[in-house]
Structure 1
């Protein structure tokens, strides 16, 4: 059992703020993803939980017990690093077994626990190989098994898939998702990849410049982004953001007019829409603009426009074709639009 509470956590180095006023409760067995660009404070937050960094202010509690002063080895957290951090002179079996030796687990339990962890990540055929003889994906699975064998209260994973190629990332992501379901251990996972966040998380914490921007389920964050930063960070492609003005429920910008918006706001505004919510053509199109580029995705065609200096996309049928520079009409349904304050970027 491990419920983690972060109470008003701050981390500063002199005048530089790494994390500001982080306040969150992570439920027992929850898979929480910290998501954001490089330098946003997500790894620093994880390192404070692990005990590798001390918070400047605030308290970290596990099951109601304050752990700020506990050494990392006493926090019962198993960490999986981006760089694998394997011992090159030890074979796979001994790398997985190493935490058991360090924690003085009775040797009679070692083989059973190592073999169980190995089986979970499908490493039984590689136990006598050294790390240098393994692929990147196999090394990452060794690192996962080494964390599993400890049977910790908390898993901490710091961008564990960043060094893998695209195909391996997909398969290893599925393995981590399945392990989370099997092991039922509280997991905190750091990534800058929003696809990892959307597919793995029970809840996502989106961070920017050390500040939490939004906390919610992947669906909540995707469907109702709190501000333009979250809107532009979540989704593949990200939400399109158009600058313009709104009056009487009608949005007007360069090459775009959208009527029937449910808003009494008037004046400058930022309008957001998802590429999959728009469509090419329509009886009363919202956009008439030249095609900037086209990308064939297999199941669809991504059509990109340049609207008033902004790149905007529409997902069309896979058969759709148009020449670059050709003017094409597209419809953006008012019901699917998101409205943000033009100055603060906050959702209206």
Structure 2
């Protein structure tokens, strides 16, 4: 097994910076997720670890070896891509077996290793089929088994669930989580889907424009986002963010007044999560009073969205709650649930 260190790793193409000064230690057997929007540098970072992209600056260390100059085949890694990359002329058994043949592993061990990998992803009954006879979820499981059979030191997974429908994503996600627990192999997983990151990761690295924004457990990133980018990217829905003014512990804006906030006087960005606030009687204690913009029935809750100070503000109410669009509603936002951010830099202001 092997931990991974990325020491001040950068990737540039001319004047374009894809990854900038990426510095991180990944523990042995850790499940680390690189998360961010398209173009943030997460896949480029993974490709540099794999050896598919050259490093412009910095070092990549797998175990105790600096691997910058090593070919991908010599890094003892296995990759699972968004596109399954299966050989259409081979059946499932031969697709899974292929890495063993290429690496000249003792043929006497092939059958045991293929069957063990197939069992882990529940493919034993499909070994005789060609990829064209499989569903998308089954093809992705073949790709997973092909990586497992290698018994590598590191798994790299580049958006492996993107081609699956919503139901298959949920079941395959659970399978990947269970496999990593069973195999105990260091895993780096790339995604733009924050739900995948929150459910799979031991730690999440949130990236933007090639720069690390925050590293932490899913709970740390959700509960204490480092800046407004992370706050607005993590969560479903994302954290509500409102511009306003703080004076003597009171945040004010159009339709908004929240008291008891510790922070510097002046312009500020305030954030809170939809599930932490509540709908209140308009003649009771309310920090926001505004007309309803939309109501969405989610099954387990009702999402109420209002417009306040030009911002869309969402709050989750009980699943039985109903209200009409344009009807005025009061929202209760206790100071204890609020997050404060610098109005220019977006950096979190700790109380």
TM-score, normalised by the number of residues in structure 2: 0.98
Do structure 1's residue 241 and structure 2's residue 245 form an aligned pair? no
Match of 1:304 in 2: 305
Deviation (angstroms), 1:64: 2.4
Matched, 1:36 2:36: yes
Q: Quote the residue 2:208 is aligned against.
A: 208
Q: Which moved more, 1:247-256 or 1:42-51?
A: 247-256
Question: For the residues of structure 1 that align with 2:311 and 2:179, how far apart are their CA atoms?
Answer: 42
The runs of 4+ residues in structure 1 deviating greater than 4 Å are none
Match of 2:102 in 1: 102
Report deviation, 1:262.
2.3
**Residue equivalent to 2:75:** 75
The answer for the alignment partner of 2:321 in structure 1 is 320
Distance 2:167 2:2 in 1: 33
How many Å separate the matches in 2 of 1:222 and 1:216? 9
Q: Distance in 1 between matches of 2:27 and 2:193?
A: 23
Q: How far apart, in 2, do the equivalents of 1:314 and 1:140 lie?
A: 37
- 1: distance between equivalents of 2:163 and 2:291? 38
Quote the residue 2:20 is aligned against.
20
Aligned twin of 1:281: 280
CA distance in 2, matches of 1:254, 1:343: 20
1:190-229 matches, cutoff 5 A: 190-229=190-229
- Cα shift readout 1:187-243 (whole Å, capped 9, x = no counterpart): 000000000000000000000000000000000000000000000000111000001
Question: Could you say what secondary structure the match of 2:275 adopts?
Answer: helix
2:296 matches 1:295: yes
d(CA) in 1 for partners of 2:125, 2:62: 37
Distance 2:65 2:85 in 1: 30
Q: CA deviation at 1:261?
A: 1.1
Q: Which residue of 2 aligns with 1:150?
A: 150
CA distance in 2, matches of 1:249, 1:281: 22
- SS of the residue 1:17 aligns to: strand
For 2:311 and 2:86, locate their aligned partners in 1 and report how far apart those are by CA, in whole Å.
46
1:56 alignment partner in structure 2: 56
Counterpart position of 2:265? 266
- Structure 1 distance, partners of 2:105, 2:124, is 22
Alignment of 1:180 onto 2:180: yes
**Shift of the alpha carbon at 1:65?**
1.4
Under a length normalisation based on structure 1, what TM-score does the superposition of the two structures give? 0.99
1:342 Cα offset (Å): 0.4
Question: Could you tell me how far apart the structure 1 residues matched to 2:61 and 2:164 are?
Answer: 34
Q: Which string of whole-angstrom CA distances, capped at 9 and with x for unpartnered residues, describes residues 313-332 of structure 1? A: 00001111111111100101
CA distance, structure 2, for counterparts of residue 156 and residue 37 of structure 1: 18
Partner of 2:46: 46
Cα-to-partner distance string for 1:86-107 (whole Å, 9 max, x where unaligned): 0011000000000000000111
Partner of 1:127: 127
Deviation at 1:253, TM superposition (A): 1.2
Unpaired runs of 5+ in structure 2? none
Structure 1: 5+ residue stretches without partners = none
SS in 2 for 1:280: strand
For residues 196 and 313 of structure 2, the distance between their equivalents in structure 1, rounded to whole angstroms, comes to: 24
